[in-house]
């Protein structure tokens, strides 16, 4: 029986290995992590991450050919293939701080693999890493190998949270990069054989190591760039009376452009886009490519601009002050169908409103109060470390309350900000909400999910990203 071990039981390691175990009953898969609480949760009925369809996959294979363990060294020693899916956050200190990837976790995993291995192994980069990381890993492994042979492969993961299981079942492509030597090609074939259990062969792409590593950063940069492009257009739509949804549709029907990933929003979030673009910018800078670095920097600048623009719109619409006013925040996760809040735009929007002394009542169906308080008190990039390594909040933000119902959040509020596109927010009884709010009652829709006409009929003053402005808002002072 082929044995796989995956180091890192996070958002990528957990679901990816659960699907490999489901699709390859003849392979034994162990997912290991240094976090005792995370592994305990994987072994319980309350998995550590919320992801549609994940519970069922785990339940079907756990204890059969899928195991979660903290005995990292034992499982690594026994494995033929070791995936490394540890976090690769942005460096917070020292050389490259605020841009470069922090490879501390990766390096310590590589050193441990070298220490405990007693047989040849294929080591697979599953984490998103800077180009040429495989070379550094090879050096660590070969200098400590005691004669054992390691082949390094790059097999970046393209799943998106909220649709991870679907994405893993039917990936657009699986990418495997390896050395162009006979041993490198043999290793590629071994990994290809694993995926071939369920992925059609023409969807398994093979490249050299550096192309695979760079393709992952490039794919995320391209995706984020589309969102910043449509968000930049949303500002122009508001200024001119065009409707961003109509513009997106008209642009996206061009088959060369395509309709996906053109939804204007309050800004993109998530653990990957900003981190990976910063990483790309750092690599460009290190290679003397300042113009290329500046091009990608703009994608992040527009994203920050979009979040600021939203906050300014809320404040200026409400007579230029939200001081002491209750504002309901509907949705805190960075997108629907996940409880993940890493780099969610809600953090910047809430901090902006708190800066203007608003009182916030926050509701998200999947995010806990503790997580929200942590996020609102944490320094930039600290979030980027595993949850169990994040600092505890020194004290709760007093102007913030977290409630477990959208109606409760909206009660007595002056305005509602929709920051995550949860389906349940489309189906709320907005008439009921209107009746229990202060007047004039505002809705600021950062996800374009509300029925603007219907809300206006009820009596709300509505702002929806990139949509023609409410006459009320047109008369308000211009914003940044």
3-state DSSP assignment of residue 392: coil
- State the binding partner of 263 from ligand NAD, ligand UDX, none, CB within 5 to 8 A by kind: ligand UDX
Instruction: Establish if 342 lies at the interface with ligand UDX (CB under 6 A).
Output: no
Neighbours of 117 (CB within 10 A): 23
Residues binding ligand UDX: number (CB under 6 A): 19
Q: Which of 5, 6, 237, 272 is catalytic?
A: 272
Q: Binding residue per annotation — 195?
A: no
Torsion angle (degrees, nearest 10) of CA 141, 80, 385, 387:
-150
Q: Is 38 exposed, middle or buried (0-12, 13-18, 19+ CB in 10 A)?
A: buried
**Are the C-beta atoms of 99 and 278 separated by less than 8 Å?**
yes
Helical segments of 178-289, H only: 182-195, 209-240, 244-252, 273-286
Neighbours of 382 (CB within 10 A): 15
Interface residue with ligand NAD, options 51, 102, 138, 161 (CB under 6 A)? 161
Q: In which order are the strands placed within the sheet that holds 174-178?
A: 66-69, 27-32, 2-7, 81-84, 121-125, 150-154, 174-178, 204-208
- State the binding partner of 248 from ligand NAD, ligand UDX, none, CB within 5 to 8 A by kind: none
Q: Binding residue per annotation — 341?
A: no
Cα Rg of the chain, angstroms: 24
Q: Is 80 exposed, middle or buried (0-12, 13-18, 19+ CB in 10 A)?
A: middle
Q: Binding residue per annotation — 33?
A: yes
Q: Which residue has the tokens 């909220």?
A: 162
Least spacing, CB of residue 352 vs ligand UDX, in Å: 17
In the complex with ligand NAD, which residue's Cβ is closer, 7 or 20? 7
- State the binding partner of 7 from ligand NAD, ligand UDX, none, CB within 5 to 8 A by kind: ligand NAD
Residues 6+ apart with CB under 8 A from 188: 153, 176, 178, 206
Where in 9-28 is the site for ligand NAD (CB under 6 A)?
9-13
Instruction: Establish if 105 lies at the interface with ligand UDX (CB under 6 A).
Output: no
Interface residue with ligand NAD, options 43, 69, 92, 108 (CB under 6 A)? 108
Binding letters toward ligand UDX, positions 267-306, x by CB under 6 A: -xxx-xx---------------------------------
**Are the C-beta atoms of 85 and 6 separated by less than 8 Å?**
yes
Calpha distance 427→418 (Å, rounded):
13
Binding letters toward ligand NAD, positions 248-277, x by CB under 6 A: -----------------------xx-----
3-state DSSP assignment of residue 99: coil
In the complex with ligand NAD, which residue's Cβ is closer, 167 or 421? 167
Instruction: Establish if 195 lies at the interface with ligand NAD (CB under 6 A).
Output: no
Whether 272 is catalytic is yes
Instruction: Establish if 157 lies at the interface with ligand UDX (CB under 6 A).
Output: yes
Interface residue with ligand UDX, options 107, 144, 149, 158 (CB under 6 A)? 158
Which tokens hold the place of 243? 């409707």
- State the binding partner of 460 from ligand NAD, ligand UDX, none, CB within 5 to 8 A by kind: none
Annotated binding site: 8-13, 33, 38, 86-90, 127-128, 161, 272-275, 342
User: Which residues form the catalytic set?
Assistant: 272
What residues line the site for ligand UDX (CB under 6 A)?
A: 157-161, 220, 223, 227, 261-263, 265, 268-270, 272-273, 334-335
What residues line the site for ligand NAD (CB under 6 A)?
A: 7-13, 32-35, 38, 72, 85-88, 105, 108-109, 127-128, 157, 159, 161, 271-272, 386
């Amino acid at each position: 029986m082929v044995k796989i071990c995956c180091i890192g039981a996070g958002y990528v390691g957990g679901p990816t290995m659960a699907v490999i175990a489901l699709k390859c009953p003849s392979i034994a898969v162990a997912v290991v992590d240094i976090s005792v609480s995370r592994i305990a949760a994987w072994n319980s009925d309350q998995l550590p991450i919320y992801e549609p369809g994940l519970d069922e996959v785990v339940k079907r294979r756990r204890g059969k050919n899928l195991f979660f363990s903290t005995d990292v060294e034992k499982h690594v020693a026994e494995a033929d293939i070791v995936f490394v899916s540890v976090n690769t956050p942005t460096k917070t200190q020292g050389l490259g701080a605020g841009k470069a990837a922090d490879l501390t976790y990766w390096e310590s995993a590589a050193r441990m693999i070298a220490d405990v291995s007693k047989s040849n192994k294929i080591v697979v980069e599953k984490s998103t890493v800077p180009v040429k990381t495989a070379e550094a890993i090879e050096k660590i492994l070969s200098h400590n190998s005691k004669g054992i042979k390691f082949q390094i492969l790059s097999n970046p993961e393209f799943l998106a949270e909220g649709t991870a299981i679907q994405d893993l079942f039917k990936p657009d492509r699986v990418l495997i990069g390896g050395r162009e030597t006979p041993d490198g090609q043999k290793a590629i074939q071994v990994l290809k054989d694993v995926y071939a259990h369920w992925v059609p062969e023409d969807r398994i792409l093979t490249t050299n190591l550096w192309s695979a590593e760079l393709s992952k950063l490039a794919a995320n940069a391209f995706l984020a760039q589309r969102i910043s492009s449509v968000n930049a257009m949303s500002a122009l739509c508001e200024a001119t009376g065009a409707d961003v949804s109509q513009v997106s549709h008209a642009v996206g029907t061009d088959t060369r452009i395509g309709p996906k990933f053109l939804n204007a929003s309050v800004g993109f979030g998530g653990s990957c886009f900003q981190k990976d673009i910063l990483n790309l910018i750092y690599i460009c800078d290190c290679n003397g490519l300042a113009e290329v670095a500046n091009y990608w920097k703009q994608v992040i600048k527009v994203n920050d601009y979009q979040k600021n623009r939203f906050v300014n719109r809320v404040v200026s619409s409400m007579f230029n002050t939200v001081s002491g006013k209750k504002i309901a925040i509907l949705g805190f996760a960075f997108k629907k169908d996940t409880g993940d809040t890493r780099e969610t735009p809600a953090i910047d929007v809430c901090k902006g409103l708190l800066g203007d002394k608003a009182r916030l009542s926050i509701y998200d169906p999947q995010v806990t109060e503790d997580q929200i308080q942590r996020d609102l008190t944490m320094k930039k990039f600290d979030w980027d470390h595993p949850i169990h390594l994040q600092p505890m909040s020194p004290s709760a933000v007093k102007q913030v309350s977290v409630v477990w119902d959208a109606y409760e959040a909206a009660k007595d509020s002056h305005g509602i900000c929709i920051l995550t596109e949860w389906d349940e927010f489309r189906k709320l009884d907005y008439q009921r909400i209107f009746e229990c709010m202060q007047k004039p009652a505002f809705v600021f829709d950062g996800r374009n999910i509300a029925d603007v006409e219907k809300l206006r009929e009820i009596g709300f003053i509505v702002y929806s990203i990139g949509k023609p402005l409410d006459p009320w808002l047109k008369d308000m002072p211009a914003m940044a």
